Structure 1
Amino acid sequence: MSLIDQLKEQMKLAMRAKEKVRLGTIRMALAAIKQIEVDSRESLSDDQALAVLTKMVKQRRDSIAQYEAAGRDELAAAEAAEIQVLETFLPKPLSEEEIAAIIDATISEVGASTMADMGKVMGALKPKVQGRADMGAIGSLIRAKLK
């Protein structure tokens, strides 16, 4: 079953169970996916839909930080609830050891040795960890290894 089909099925279940937060979050995710499909005039693959969900989670994490800095704990809690729903559709996150192993393998795979090769490493690494790790954190780990 594709990711979009899973979202639609879970939306129906959330409607039947009257889970408002879950329903609203899934509808928002489907709307974001549909908007991209309409703009690009093509159906999204699972990887592309996963990228949309990953981006939504990142946006909500940024919002939480801003809300907490402004003392708006109720809005931060609402964003955290949405993150929990979205993360149920994302693959299991990688551990630090798994990330380190993937980075080492990718560096040797592309033959990177200096910071000038950072783009090559990131380009090769992104499809391997899409939705399972924070690319910002991975970037800093790569920088440390390529000094």
Structure 2
Amino acid sequence: MSTIVRAVAVIVTAFAMLGSASGLSVANTDPLAGKTYKEASSIVAGWNATPVINTVVGDHLSTDQCMVVTSQKSHRQIDGAQQTVFLLNLYCNDGVAKAGTPGNSAVSPQAKLSAKNAKTGEWCSQPAQATNDKCAEFCSNHDGLCTVTF
């Protein structure tokens, strides 16, 4: 009898672990992941919180251009007052690896986002987009991707 109970417990545990693991990998609920540090900092400030760089991988980009890989909400005490902070883990290599330059694999989600942003920057750089508010916002948040000044 106890052998059957143990076997059932092992099976139930295995299914529970599989269900939770697949649930974690299906959707990334981190609202800051995939944003540049500049974009994420602005969003965090809008939440009346403070962005704090937690970790940095790479050194080929300026901090504002680094990609937020993950973030975590936390709290700290300063002068007796509790302050909300977001710990940001940054990736600061180029969006896509090139000969002699480290970066993401061309098939990774980060490289695909980098390629999409490059295309958007190219499109927004066209003279016909000079009055496009969306392009102005994009270009102000993606230094170096647009060749026009809004």
The structure whose RCO (Cα within 8 Å, separation 6+) is larger is 1
Which of the two has greater strand per residue? 2
TM-score, normalised with respect to structure 1 = 0.28
Which of the two has greater helix per residue? 1
TM-score, normalised with respect to structure 2 = 0.27
